[in-house]
């Protein structure tokens, strides 16, 4: 199992201050890492750092063994503007191949085949000709997941992927992501869904103003941070 990302004593923030610090974790190929934390704890800033879009203030974030930040397939949180995007499903999935095109102003045969095969893999091939904005929320997320898979087959970074979906669509998407992980794709998922984290993740990274926990899911369950968070979340859900 090879290391893909090593983060050592990283501090993240902006010119006007630190958002989170003392981040110290690794991501190995095939991991399913769930990132937990309250709102404002730095999860979005960490996403930008992992994607290579924002340098850390100090410390190190290192991509290993030839792995590059641009090889991370990214599924961002959806916005109302994105949900209303007037393009076909096939066009959106194909756009995941843009980085492969370089200066070439068209998709080649291999890229088109990759898009078609990915749509079949995610069971959305029958939607290929439909307009994206006409789809249900769950269907739209599958389309965006297919787009991310066209960009890479190594790692997916998912930011609250089930937000706004009904329970059935949430469950279906989580199971699909788990299958991709079993097929060998590394998953990093930012989530508020503690139940999903405890069901699917192999590792947990819990952050606040500093790193609160990093380790296996099993160790998280018996850690002070984990037990406190589970108790708090359970109380909120029951209240």
Q: For each of the chain's 239 residues, which pLDDT tens digit applies?
A: 799 999 999 999 988 889 999 999 999 999 999 999 988 888 989 999 999 899 999 999 999 978 888 888 999 887 665 677 789 999 999 998 887 766 677 788 999 999 999 999 999 999 999 999 999 999 999 999 999 999 888 999 999 999 889 999 999 999 999 999 999 999 999 998 899 999 999 999 999 999 999 999 999 999 999 999 988 876 454 44
Q: Would 91 be classed as within a structural domain?
A: no
Q: What is the pLDDT of residue 236?
A: 52
Q: Would 88 be classed as within a structural domain?
A: no
Is 144:118 a contact under the CB 8 Å cutoff? no
Q: What is the pTM of this model?
A: 0.90
Coil/strand/helix, residue 4: strand
Coil/strand/helix, residue 161: coil
Q: Would 44 be classed as within a structural domain?
A: yes
Q: Would 79 be classed as within a structural domain?
A: no
Q: Would 144 be classed as within a structural domain?
A: no
Q: Would 172 be classed as within a structural domain?
A: no
Q: Would 16 be classed as within a structural domain?
A: yes
Q: Which two tokens stand for residue 89?
A: 């499903």
Is 227:217 a contact under the CB 8 Å cutoff? no
Is 166:201 a contact under the CB 8 Å cutoff? no
Q: What is the pLDDT of residue 65?
A: 79
Instruction: Give the count of domains, the chain.
Output: 1
Residue 190 main-chain phi, psi, to 5 deg: -90, 130
Q: What is the CATH number of the domain that holds 54?
A: 3.40.50.300
Q: What is the pLDDT of residue 78?
A: 75
Containing structural domain, residue 215: 1-67+187-239
Q: Which two tokens stand for residue 23?
A: 């981040």
């Amino acid at each position: 199992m090879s290391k893909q990302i090593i983060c050592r004593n990283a501090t993240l923030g902006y010119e006007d201050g630190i958002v989170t610090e003392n981040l110290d974790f690794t991501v190995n190929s095939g991991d399913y890492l769930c990132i937990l934390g309250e709102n404002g704890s730095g999860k979005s800033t960490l996403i930008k750092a992992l994607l290579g879009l924002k340098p850390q203030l100090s410390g190190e974030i290192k991509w290993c063994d030839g792995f590059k930040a641009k090889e991370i397939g990214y599924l961002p949180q959806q916005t109302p503007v994105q949900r209303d995007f007037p393009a076909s499903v096939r066009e959106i999935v194909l756009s995941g191949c843009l980085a492969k095109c370089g200066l070439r102003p068209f998709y080649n045969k291999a890229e088109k085949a990759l898009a078609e095969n990915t749509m079949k893999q995610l069971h959305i091939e029958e939607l290929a000709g439909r307009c994206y904005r006409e789809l249900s929320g769950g269907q739209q997320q599958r389309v965006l997941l297919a787009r991310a898979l066209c960009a890479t087959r190594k790692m997916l970074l998912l930011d609250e992927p089930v937000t706004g979906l009904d329970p059935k669509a949430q469950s279906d998407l989580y199971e699909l992501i788990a299958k991709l992980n079993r097929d060998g794709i590394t998953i990093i998922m930012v989530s508020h869904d503690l139940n999903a984290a405890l069901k699917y993740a192999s590792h947990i990274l819990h952050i606040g103003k500093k790193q609160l926990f990093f380790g296996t899911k099993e160790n998280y369950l018996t850690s002070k941070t984990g037990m406190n968070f589970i108790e708090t979340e359970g109380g909120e859900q029951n209240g």
